[in-house]
Amino acid sequence: FALMTKCFRQTLGKMVFGLKVVSVKADRKLTWSTVIFREVVGRYIDKIWILYIVVAFSPTKQGIHDYIADTTVVHEKLYRK
């Protein structure tokens, strides 16, 4: 997951749905430390599935792991605009 996120900014599942992981800070590339940190925190949150409810109520639709890593997932077509 980390390798695909770093190289393509997408995993296979994100590719299917046209989603990409980007940095919240403008014009900033994803670093290895950011990607690995995001994936590790995301795996722990996956164990506590109730924490995914945060995404539904956050204005930017970010998960807790995205807030911590300063990343967000965007729709690829909207990101290009």
Instruction: Note the pLDDT tens digit of each residue in 7-31.
Output: 999 999 999 999 999 999 877 889 9
Q: What is the DSSP string of 27-64?
A: T-PPPHHHHHHHHHHHHHHHHSGGGGHHHHHSTT---H
**Residue 74's beta-bridge partner residues?**
20
pLDDT surpasses 70 at 80: no
Tell me the CA end-to-end span of the chain in Å, nearest whole number. Answer: 26
Q: Say what the pLDDT of residue 12 is.
A: 93
Quick check: 43 and 35 in contact, CB under 8 A? Answer: no
Predicted TM-score of the model (pTM): 0.79
Q: Collect all residues with Cβ–Cβ distance below 8 Å to 50 and sequence separation of at least 6.
A: none
3-state secondary structure of 11: coil
